[in-house]
Amino acid sequence: MSAYGWGVQYLAQVFAGKTAISRHRLCELPGATDLWAAKLPQGLPEGQFDRRVEDADRVTQMSVFSAQQAVQMAGLDPLGVGMLAWGTGFGGAATLDDAYQRLYLGRQDLSGRVSPLTVPKAMSHASAAGIASWAKLSCPVMTYSNACASSAVAIGEAMLAIAQGRCDVAIVGGSEALIVPGVVKAWESLGALAKLNPNDPKAVWLGPFEQSREGLVLGEGAACLVLESESHAQARGAQILAHCLGYAQVNDPDCVTHPHAEPQLRSMYAALQQAGVQTDEVTYVNAHATGTKAGDASEIEALNALFDKTQALVSSTKGATGHLMGAAGAMEVILSINALRLKKCPPNLGVQKLDSQIRFKAPLKATALPLSGVCLSNSFAFGGTNISLVFKAHE
């Protein structure tokens, strides 16, 4: 799910070139301004959750809903799951923001009352715990928090667990819901957000790979997949969508906020090498590109080095969904797999003029893919975590 709504309808919207990014008022507090955001509609699906989930943080509600959808679509009995691997960057940001407002807003002391549920609702593990509670899981349940590579790490580590024979089935994914005053102001202070002139009703948002880009757009949502060993999937007659071929993680130790092309290049190359895939066999690359000047520039340099003069088409789907932080990796793997199944590259949205340094193919409209069915999905995060995942469409 994403800013397009509670469900999988976002897939068609992305490929149709319809962005979920729009202008939002941050809150009703004095001094609040508008911002570009991809925000999920308020309210919960009727009758979807029990009381425990209804009382949980928004991020946990998204997580449980996405897991329910994935398990149902996979025709899977949750009791047969051998591992739950979940990614999130911030955890229950809305719960923490509410607690701090209760304490500090208009106060000169710490007499404000904070809910006794603040800790279990706000902890990073709350989403995974909520899914495990719903599915009655007693298997290993793990949370990965590697900034905006979190759910990509979760997918990669579950792939390794299955390949090593530690389990046959894993629920994997990620979630994020951090469009709250405290977090947004922190990103503004970092100078990383796309700017919006509050006095200009015709302001235009500029997306990833745009020559004049100014920053990222925060999004919220959740994405979940079911991973299985091929033998297990075949034995239960499951519909196989794609094959996980490669996973690589390369750390960039030089700066926690400024990415570098060389570790990103090594991450992509290592994932392709593990997958046994040559660069010219790649059909589609889902770039991490967020719309920041420095981040996109580093990835452009790395992508140029690998995919100049190849058949691969490259796009950043953050121009559609916004940057989902901890959920971005999982959401983009789902979009990448569907790109292979539809044989269509999602468009780069929010681009009026492509960055002049780009030498690879970056279409501005949905474009047919070549017949080969291999994709690469990148997640390059603050803190130095560089993840690349390789998938092949199921024949």
Going by pLDDT thresholds of 50, 70 and 90, the confidence category of residue 102 is confident
| Superfamily designation of domain 242-393 | Thiolase/Chalcone synthase (3.40.47.10)
Mean pLDDT, rounded, for 57-82 = 94
323 catalytic residue (yes or no): yes
Residue 317 burial class via C-beta count within 10 angstroms: exposed 0-12, middle 13-18, buried 19 and up: buried
What are the residue ranges spanned by the domains of the chain?
10-235, 242-393
110 pLDDT above the threshold of 90: no
Catalytic residue among 148, 167, 244, 345: 148
Q: What is the CATH number of domain 10-235?
A: 3.40.47.10
Mean pLDDT, range 349-367, rounded to an integer: 97
Q: Which of 167, 244, 288, 375 is catalytic?
A: 288
Q: What is the model's pTM?
A: 0.95
* Chain-centre distance for alpha carbon 149: 8
242-393 matches 10-235 in CATH topology: yes
Residue tagged active-site, from 224, 244, 323, 375: 323
Q: Is 288 considered catalytic here?
A: yes
Q: CA 75, CA 64: separation in Å to the nearest integer? A: 16
Amino acid 27: pLDDT: 87
Verify whether residue 243 is a known catalytic residue: no
